[in-house]
């Protein structure tokens, strides 16, 4: 057989593949970072929601008492409708790399053998470290609840990140207030006490090596400063167990959000903003398959925030292509606005390529975080980053090596900064 000569893009991609990465956003549980069986992998929401979209009833996918192996068998039945998707490409690639799977698709005839073989491999005590090494991942940022004790794991390998959605949007829920009281040790029924409590959370996270704060935001949210006087009524009403009006909820959310931004400034923490998601749009969807975006969001809604906190770095993720165009312009002008990854519904090559190209052409190179995995299990890091590396290599070759006559070495160095270097500098001390 005659060996196929690799293309210049393939050669660039191979060099990018050698870069050891820090993943700046994931949903990894550091106490169970790797999968235990194929059910952990095929239970990823991409596969369940796509199988449901293709016609498999939710009750089949989420039947109570179903075993991991039974769930895999059921989802495999729906994969024939999904083999065109990039998500199934991730699946086949990770099965090849980590389990030695040689077929080009997972079918009712071959899945059980793969399940049994992979389960044996995953039972090895060093499986987690094996995945990190094969994925060339040095460290992974987490998504930690505000009351996470942050103990029992290596915070240099799994880097804490304070997720603030519950504080900002769900403080009216009794269980959230109870968690806050337990985490801080006192009642927070006044603005001053609430500010003090949030300050305690920041101190706790920073002392355990946290490198960022993060939040997912709906399209209609507009952060503005709220005075103690204006926040007093909604906060006392929430702690009294009253149902808040829409206006009261908005006032309280803005007060908490602005307070968090102030502590980010005080502690020199970047504040990751993931903008534009509507929750529970498809109420009959599978778990984590109910949220969607629309195009009503504008970064203009965040102008006061960006102006008010010039020392806070805001790595921003958006969902719509039009929103990426706006993000490019804001990162072009605002020193503290940073383009961050390709989030969720934008995380397919058809959208990544034009977004990647526009960011490289228009944004200062030190303000572009190329990619993050958003993964729930470590096995997905490699295929997801590999997808991005292929796109990045294509753009670097076509636009810089050919288009600008850069040397290959210069193009790879830019790729290195986009993939790794900016994570180190933007999230200071992440390495």
% of the chain surpassing 90 pLDDT? 95
CATH number assigned to the domain covering 129-426: 3.20.20.140
Nearest C-alpha neighbor of 169 from the set 217, 237, 222 = 217
What mean pLDDT comes out for the span 147-167? 98
pLDDT band at 154 (very low <50, low <70, confident <90, very high): very high
What pLDDT does 322 receive? 85
Is 1's pLDDT higher than 50? no
Contact 12, 395 (CB under 8 A): no
Q: Which residue blocks in 173-297 are alpha helix, DSSP H?
A: 174-184, 191-207, 228-239, 246-267
Structural tokens at position 198: 């949030």
What pTM does this model have?
0.96
Q: Where are the domains of the chain?
A: 37-122, 129-426
Nearest C-alpha neighbor of 132 from the set 46, 22, 212, 37 = 22
Is 4's pLDDT higher than 90? no
What pLDDT does 262 receive? 98
Q: Quickly list DSSP for 286-334.
A: PTT---EE-S---GGGGHHHHHH-TTS-EEEEESSHHHHHHHHHHHHH-
Structural tokens at position 136: 């060339």
% of the chain surpassing 70 pLDDT? 98
pLDDT band at 186 (very low <50, low <70, confident <90, very high): confident
* Three-class DSSP category at 131: helix
* Three-class DSSP category at 217: strand
pLDDT band at 321 (very low <50, low <70, confident <90, very high): confident
CA distance 272 to 390: 25
CA distance 78 to 278: 27
Contact 366, 427 (CB under 8 A): no
Q: What is the mean pLDDT of the chain?
A: 96
What pLDDT does 429 receive? 53
What mean pLDDT comes out for the span 91-110? 97
| pLDDT tens-digit readout, 197-243 | 999 999 999 999 999 999 999 999 999 999 999 999 999 999 999 99
Is 2's pLDDT higher than 80? no
H or E stretch at 84: none
| pLDDT tens-digit readout, 347-386 | 999 999 999 999 999 999 999 999 999 999 999 999 999 9
What pLDDT does 6 receive? 86
What pLDDT does 187 receive? 87
| pLDDT tens-digit readout, 402-418 | 999 999 999 999 999 99
Query: What's the DSSP call for residue 345?
Result: G
What mean pLDDT comes out for the span 175-201? 95
pLDDT band at 258 (very low <50, low <70, confident <90, very high): very high
What pLDDT does 431 receive? 43
| pLDDT tens-digit readout, 44-77 | 999 999 999 999 999 999 999 999 999 999 999 9
Q: Which residue blocks in 240-295 are alpha helix, DSSP H?
A: 246-267
What mean pLDDT comes out for the span 236-256? 96
Assigned CATH class of 37-122:
mainly alpha
CA distance 253 to 274: 16
What pLDDT does 430 receive? 44
What pLDDT does 295 receive? 84
């Amino acid at each position: 057989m005659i060996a196929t000569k690799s293309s210049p893009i393939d050669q660039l991609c191979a060099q990018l593949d050698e870069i050891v990465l820090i993943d700046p956003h994931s949903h990894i549980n550091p106490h169970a970072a790797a999968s235990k069986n194929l059910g952990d992998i095929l239970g990823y929401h991409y596969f369940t929601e796509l199988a449901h979209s293709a016609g498999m009833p939710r009750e089949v996918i989420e039947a109570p008492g179903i075993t991991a192996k039974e769930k895999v068998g059921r989802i495999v039945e729906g994969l024939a409708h999904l083999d065109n998707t990039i998500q199934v490409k991730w699946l086949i690639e990770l099965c090849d790399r980590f389990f030695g799977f040689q077929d080009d698709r997972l079918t009712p005839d071959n899945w059980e053998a793969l399940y049994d073989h992979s389960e044996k491999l995953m039972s090895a005590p060093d499986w987690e470290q094996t995945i990190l090494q094969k994925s060339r991942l040095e460290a992974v940022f987490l998504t930690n609840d505000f009351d996470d004790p942050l103990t029992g794991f290596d915070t240099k390998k799994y880097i804490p990140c304070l997720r603030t959605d519950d504080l900002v949007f769900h403080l009216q829920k009794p269980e959230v207030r109870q968690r806050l009281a337990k985490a801080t040790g006192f009642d927070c029924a006044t603005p001053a006490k609430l500010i003090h409590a949030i300050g305690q959370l920041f101190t706790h996270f920073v002392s355990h090596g946290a490198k960022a704060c993060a939040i997912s935001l709906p399209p209609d949210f507009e952060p503005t400063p709220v005075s103690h006087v204006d926040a007093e009524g909604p906060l006392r009403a929430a702690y009294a167990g009253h149902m808040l009006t829409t206006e009261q909820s908005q006032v309280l959310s803005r007060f908490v959000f602005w307070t968090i931004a102030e502590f980010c400034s005080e502690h020199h923490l970047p504040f990751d903003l993931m903008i534009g998601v509507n929750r529970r749009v498809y109420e009959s969807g599978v778990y984590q398959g109910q949220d969607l975006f629309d195009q009503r969001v504008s970064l203009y809604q965040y102008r006061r925030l960006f102006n008010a906190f010039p020392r806070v770095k805001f790595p921003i993720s958006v969902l719509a292509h039009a929103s990426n165009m706006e993000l490019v312009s804001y990162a072009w002008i605002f020193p503290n606005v940073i383009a961050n990854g390709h989030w969720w519904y934008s995380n397919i090559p058809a959208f990544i390529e034009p977004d990647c190209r526009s960011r490289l052409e228009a944004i200062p190179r030190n303000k572009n975080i190329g990619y993050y995995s958003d993964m729930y299990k470590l096995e997905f890091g490699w295929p997801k980053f590999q997808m991005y590396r292929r796109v990045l290599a294509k753009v670097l070759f076509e636009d810089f090596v050919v288009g600008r006559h850069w040397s290959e070495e210069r193009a790879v160095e830019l790729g290195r900064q986009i993939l790794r270097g900016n994570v180190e500098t933007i999230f200071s001390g992440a390495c």
